[in-house]
Structure 1
Amino acid sequence: MMKKRFRIKKEQDFKLVFKKGKSYANRQFVVYLRDHPEVSHLRLGISVSKRLGNAVQRNKIKRRIRAFFQHHKDDLKAKEYVVIARNPVSDMDYHQMEKSLLHVLKIAKCIK
């Protein structure tokens, strides 16, 4: 379970990351990154479109993304991350998602 201080929830926080941050993408995910000087830990926002399925499927995708960040939080740099899931994600299991997210984060050079 991720603590509240590790989450990005407010719309204006999302907008800041989109505006000031950099984006990196592969077929499954778009990841926006923003350096935040006042925060010494990573913060995560997740966006899953209604096109990816019903609420149950979308929540499952969000849980898996959260689990990935929980599992890898020590390997990742302290930044603000906003992860947007794209269409192929709805058919993937956790290990495929993990591989895909690691791929995007390697491109973004935010793995320690």
Structure 2
Amino acid sequence: MADQPQKLRKRPEFLRVASRGRKVATPGLVLQVLRTEHEAPARVGFTVTKKVGNAVVRNRTRRRLRAALQHVARKTDLAAVDLVLIGRDSTRGRPFDRLIADLEHALRKGEAL
């Protein structure tokens, strides 16, 4: 992997990925991918809506997504791409190996790899 992924922090960055990027839905998560023109490290944002649960549940879901991305990023080169991982209600209870498989599938289908 080239560099550690950086964070998307501001709402306009998330909205740009949502409006211009590709969206891939899997049973464990939704991934939005937007290729960038420069060879900068990947930038990543995580979103979990209140429909998923209270703050404790949403944070746990976000931590699982972050851990899955770290696992995948160790094996692959994520560069020149902005990613938004959206947690679903099923993200929390999905076995971790299947969550990783969902993320890898979404990255391939979204042409981030």
Q: Same fold (TM over 0.5)?
A: yes
What whole-Å deviation, never above 9, does each CA across 1:40-84 have from its counterpart, x for those lacking one? 111111111111122111111111211222222251431100111
Matches within 5 A, 1:60-75: 60-74=60-74, 75=76
Secondary structure at the counterpart of residue 87 of structure 1:
coil
| Partner residue in 2 for 1:100 | 102
Q: How many residues align?
A: 108
Q: Specify whether residues 106 and 35 from structure 1 end up closer, same or farther in structure 2 by C-alpha distance, changes over 3 A only.
A: closer
Matched, 1:30 2:30: yes
Which among 74, 80, 83 is matched to residue 81 of structure 1?
A: 83
What RMSD in Å do the two structures reach over aligned CA positions?
Answer: 1.9
Greater share of residues in helix: 1
| Distance of aligned partners of 1:97 and 1:53 in 2 relative to their CA distance in 1, 3 Å threshold | same
Decide which moves more: 50-59 or 68-77. Answer: 68-77
List structure 1 runs of 4+ shifted beyond 4 angstroms: none
Q: Against the structure 1 CA distance between its residues 23 and 89, is the aligned structure 2 distance closer, same or farther, given a 3 Å change threshold?
A: same
For normalisation by structure 2, the TM-score amounts to 0.81
**C-alpha deviations, 1:4-34, integer Å up to 9, x for none?**
x700110000011111111111222211111
Name the CA distance, whole Å, in 1 between partners of 2:39 and 2:69.
Answer: 17
**Does the 8 Å CA contact 1:48/1:84 hold for their aligned counterparts?**
yes
**Percent pairwise identity:** 27
Q: Which runs of 5+ in 1 are unaligned?
A: none
SS of the residue corresponding to residue 91 of structure 2 reads helix
The answer as to whether partners of 1:76 and 1:110 remain within 8 angstroms in 2 is no
| Structure 2 residue identity aligned to 1:106 | R
Residue identity matched to 1:48: V
Q: Contact 1:46–1:62 at 8 Å: present in 2 too?
A: yes
Normalised by the size of structure 1, how large is the TM-score? 0.82
CA distance in 2, matches of 1:76, 1:66: 16
